[in-house]
Structure 1
């Protein structure tokens, strides 16, 4: 089991409310995952089994391993299983072809020179880093502190994922919007004005009934094309600030 996979699993156990029994790991050397022996996290080596079981699947492997892993996963992923890829060398469109699956989120980092890049050297463990206010600030997707940013396309994709979850649960558009607005409510009250036009094209939004679910949103489009949500967020610095505040608040809140 690689370093990234171990760090991710530890962070999920320490920083979220996900039960250990709801986490499974497929790795070539499950016997080396000694950190999780005394938890209910299940470790094995069967990529197809993992793919058939997962609602969210994290790809934590080297670029050279991707083709073989994709062969294992291909045709075993449920249509709405979210695949999050940490492998940066392969474009999301190429990954979709290899997997035969297009519900993928892949971060694309922007890097700039700055005087605070050393902040990343202050901690070598992800779970500990996410308890450090300076690193929480630096890791906020929409800031450039620490020299790394994820940008608006990734943020849009995350919000569209939340919308798709509401759609898969058959929630009406009004209820879905209320749930997404609740993310901002603690820090920004009712100042964030989101409506159907913020997420989908005007012609569809105008005819969408309040008890009718939103259409399923393509994550490929959300990451590589200009979407209504991207235009909305690009034009609203106040909403971007609310998103940043919501992120920091979530990271600073201990999991119970």
Structure 2
């Protein structure tokens, strides 16, 4: 049935707003943009981690091994099923390529996820169980619940579990203290004035929006075409996350660099390569043996301090272009 009111301005959301209220419409676009960017960036991270683990697996195990294929699948946990948790789950199911059986949810109201349970996603209320199981754990809880949640998680997180926080108002340094854990990513978005920030008003349905090249371009972490920027600190921390994954599986430094470069060059072949000096100090890099894994990198430090990688990215337009190309390619890729 055709909606005869679809193009009538008198039926639009803005029709009943006062002039003062209309000046705040940009907040509606900003809210939609934050949700889209948060989900898109989470999908990007999961795809990078999955790609790296697949390459590590093929590098260290017999090719064609069924066990090797299964081991490359990452286990993703979502803690909290409010608006952000549900949108994130939709994005992961639609765009990440992660099997529903490899996604678990912990929520105080498991019944709120019944539509997703039918797809194969498991939902329960047990934060500790989720923490012990997940390779990547997304925190989508309210700030008021964070202390209790962190108390649940603190002694059950393995060192290799990457915690990704969407909880607003709590900096990564505080999260690290509460969790006793330093493998944490925390998005910190900045807003930049631009003429195209209202592009986010078209994000009425997330799964549809995630197929829109214009919105994917606007959400690219290293551009500001949509007025929302996450900055080089976040990108740097994502790359350090990949390095830590190699370290956690005892991959030597030379092989780790090769594997990470392969993940990036798969989407952008003609780029400068990352080397040991890109990630760690010159003195440490010069003494690091090729078969020796990189040291474990605190993501708390990676997001709050000037690191060798941050300095490298600041100066390397080629690597910035490579990461941007990888982002757009992975988000546009069909599963």
Q: Same fold (TM over 0.5)?
A: yes
Q: Cα distance 1:98–1:205, how it changes in 2: closer, same or farther (>3 A)?
A: same
* Residue 142 (structure 1) shift: 0.4
Q: Which residue of 2 aligns with 1:191?
A: 271
Q: Match of 1:81?
A: 161
Aligned length: 255
Deviation at 1:236, TM superposition (A): 1.1
CA distance in 1, matches of 2:264, 2:126: 40
Q: Distance in 2 between matches of 1:57 and 1:189?
A: 31
Instruction: Give the aligned CA root-mean-square deviation in angstroms.
Output: 1.3
Aligned to 1:223: 303
Q: CA deviation at 1:42?
A: 0.6
Deviation (angstroms), 1:254: 0.8
Residue 198 of structure 2 corresponds to 118
Could you say which residue in structure 2 is the equivalent of 1:164?
Answer: 244
Partner of 2:188: 108
Contact 2:160–2:245 (Cα < 8 Å) also in 1: no
The question of 1:148 aligning with 2:228 is answered: yes
Q: 2:110 aligns with which of 7, 30, 51?
A: 30
* SS of aligned partner of 2:118: coil
Moved more, 139-148 or 95-104: 95-104
Structure 1 residue 40, shift from structure 2 partner: 1.5
In the alignment, the residues of structure 2 paired with residue 189 and residue 18 of structure 1 have an alpha-carbon distance, to the nearest angstrom, of 25
Q: Are the counterparts in 2 of residues 7 and 125 from structure 1 also a CA contact under 8 Å?
A: no
Counterpart-to-counterpart distance in 2, 1:100 and 1:40: 32
In the alignment, which of 38, 41, 44 is matched to residue 124 of structure 2?
Answer: 44
Task: Give the CA deviation at 1:184.
Answer: 3.0
Deviations 1:36-87 (A, max 9, x none): 1312111111111111221211000111121121122121111221110001
Partner of 2:214 in structure 1? Answer: 134
Q: Which one is further off, 208-217 or 22-31? A: 208-217
Q: What is aligned with 1:173?
A: 253
2:78 corresponds in structure 1 to none
**CA-to-aligned-CA distance 1:90-109 (integer Å, 9 cap, x gap):** 11111111122221100111
C-alpha contact 1:8 1:126 (8 A) present in aligned 2: no
User: Partner residue of 1:60?
Assistant: 140
Q: TM-score, normalised by structure 2?
A: 0.73
Q: Confirm whether residue 246 of structure 1 aligns to residue 326 of structure 2.
A: yes
TM-score norm. by structure 1 comes to: 0.95
Residue 214, structure 1, aligned to residue 294, structure 2: yes
Tell me by how many angstroms 1:187 deviates. 4.4
Find the aligned partners of 1:117 and 1:147 in 2 and give their Cα distance. 5
Which segments of structure 1 move beyond 6 Å, counting only runs of 4 or more?
none
Single out whichever of 143-152 and 1-10 deviates more from structure 2: 1-10
Q: Report what 2:85 is aligned to.
A: 5
Question: Do 1:192 and 1:239's aligned partners in 2 also have CA atoms closer than 8 Å?
Answer: yes
